Amino acid sequence: TAAAGSLLRELLAEADLTPERRGRAARAHSGLAANAAYDAPSTEVLADIIADPRLPIADRGEVRLTLGLRVAVQGGDRDGFALIEQAADELIAERPARAARALVALAMNERDGEGAAAWERMAKAAAALENEPDEEVAAAHRATRLTFQAREGDPGLWPELDRLPRDASSPELVRQTTRALFNVGDIAMETGHDQRAGRLLTESRALARQAAVSYLECYSRIALLRLDGLAGRWQGLEERFEALGTEYPDVAMARVERAMLFGRMAASRGRLAVARAEFESAARYGERESQVTTAIRAAAGLGAVELVERGAEAAAVVLGPAVAILRQAGAWARGGELLPIGVEVARGTGDEGAARHLTEEAAEALDGVDAPAAHAGLHQARGVLLEGTDPGGAIESFRRARDAWRDIGRPYEVAKSEERLARVLADRDPQTAAERLAAAEATYNTLGAASDAARCQHVRRDLGLGRMASPGRRGYGEALSPRERQVAELVGQGVSNQDIAQVLFLSPRTVEHHVASVLRKLGVGRKDVAEALAESES
């Protein structure tokens, strides 16, 4: 599209070009750009085109609509909605169906209080389509309506997806079907329908490739990688995200999902400085984006890091605005990550009333809503709320959270619920508590979450639950022991001895001993540990 744009610039520079030909050429390029993956040069071409005062108003509206969609949706910058709103004004007199398309796009913005006007804009778009029926714009309207149903956790959504046209002769109808499948699949992942999400995203990727809609193919690939992360398939995931980011360097979604994943994995491994930087990067994107979920997820991750490093008061500064966004947008079906950490931080600041209110508010909002992850998060939040006052209620809540996460298929969340359950069970049933803690630790070790696994060992010692069953201590000779391997992996990731001590709940002197042993056994210096570990595993 950038090459075509250069040719278009030359064509539009011709002084004797008729308005009709000028508009037709601009619309043709706009159609090309609409389906292409986001890149800065093509976006600059569109901006240059609408700056041409000789372009007919309605044609300028067409190009401005495409530019706005690229900026707001693919570029992840809600400033693009100002362009879309202006395009609607330019289109309404001559092309009401295209104005309806702009109104449908505007309805997708749920920030700055705009979500309250979404259904009103959809109604105005439907009215415009009555004046000028258009099958393709009607398909966009339907795709957006399905997106809203998914956001709200509407149980009636699923049968409607089966009726979407997969083999229509119109490329735009197929594109809108692909968009609907992607949007619903992506939101299904947010709400905890992970198996359905996988099927929908796989289908949207295949349809996008078939219809040559490269940006939707890219989006589907990104979402499927995220789904792998949620399912605990962490091996090689960082490299796959890096490769996708190289392939699509200007696509904002690739950058933000990479940051979220890297932040999550870094936190689980005790690399809190790295996790903080990644979540802060995602949060900056969330401030610009038109959807609220990125801001909510980034705040949940960053708030957890703040809680560990700086305490509840610092975490509350991060989480307060995110909870406000959650409430304003009514995004309770997508708030499963935020609820538990929100309640924990409120309790940590001594505000039991706020913790209770958030839990009760979420429970009321989620009544009858089809959002397994939000309900699992609510169970976890209730467990946190009840830990100090009603151990029996906390135990039941953590069990429900664990079972819900297990049904969804997210082992990391299962392990976190198991760990919290073990803490509450320790006084009542030490044997079961030890079993639950061992299960959590085993999952963390499988995932490579060294810091989480070490915390389980620390909790076991603090609660007097005894050691995990093992065949007995043995010597490892010149091979790395399990603890030395944990230390070696952190050294290979560039973690300092002081931070390793914090991550693994060890004394600095013990860490120094382990590092010296690792370097001796591997026969390398500190900067070469990662390479030596990789060679030993190949």
pLDDT given for residue 23 in this prediction: 62
- List Cα–Cα distances, 291 to 151, 264, 362, 406, in angstroms: 11, 21, 19, 28
SS3 content of the chain, % helix, strand, coil (to 5): 75, 0, 25
- Hey, what are 86's tokens? 């202006």
Q: CA-to-CA distance for 428 and 437, rounded, in angstroms?
A: 14
First to last CA, the chain: 43
Q: Compare 534 and 284 and report the one with higher pLDDT.
A: 284
- In tens, the pLDDT along 177-211 reads 999 999 999 999 999 999 999 999 999 999 999 98
Q: Is a pLDDT exceeding 60 seen at residue 11?
A: no
Helix (H), strand (E), coil (C) string for 229-282: HHCCCCCCHHHHHHHHHHHCCCCHHHHHHHHHHHHHHHHHCCCHHHHHHHHHHH
Q: Compare 409 and 38 and report the one with higher pLDDT.
A: 409
pLDDT given for residue 8 in this prediction: 47
Tokens 């610039």, located at residue: 9
Q: Which helix (H) or strand (E) holds 422?
A: helix 411-425
- In tens, the pLDDT along 365-392 reads 999 999 999 999 999 999 999 998 999 9
3-state secondary structure (DSSP) of residue 444 = helix
Burial of 434 (0-12, 13-18, 19+ CB in 10 A): buried
Sign of CA dihedral 187, 325, 405, 467: positive
Q: Is a pLDDT exceeding 60 seen at residue 2?
A: no
CATH class of 482-537: mainly alpha
Please compute the mean of the pLDDT values over residues 63-88 and round it to a whole number. Answer: 87
Residue 7 pLDDT class (50, 70, 90 cuts) = very low
Q: CA-to-CA distance for 234 and 254, rounded, in angstroms?
A: 17
**Amino acid identity, residue 59?**
D
pLDDT given for residue 538 in this prediction: 58
Q: CA-to-CA distance for 409 and 414, rounded, in angstroms?
A: 9
pLDDT given for residue 36 in this prediction: 57
Domain residue limits, the chain:
1-133, 482-537
- In tens, the pLDDT along 141-156 reads 999 999 999 999 999 9
Residue 428 pLDDT class (50, 70, 90 cuts) = very high
Q: Compare 145 and 271 and report the one with higher pLDDT.
A: 145
pLDDT given for residue 192 in this prediction: 98
Q: Compare 255 and 478 and report the one with higher pLDDT.
A: 255
pLDDT given for residue 37 in this prediction: 55
- Count the neighbouring beta carbons within 10 Å of the beta carbon of residue 512: 14
pLDDT given for residue 467 in this prediction: 57
pLDDT given for residue 537 in this prediction: 67
pLDDT given for residue 413 in this prediction: 98
pTM: 0.82
pLDDT given for residue 408 in this prediction: 98
pLDDT over 70, % of the chain: 90
Q: Which of 12-21, 71-80, 240-249, 388-397 has the lowest mean pLDDT?
A: 12-21
Q: Compare 483 and 24 and report the one with higher pLDDT.
A: 483
Region of residue 338 (left: phi > 0; alpha: psi -120 to 50; beta: else) = alpha
pLDDT given for residue 475 in this prediction: 61
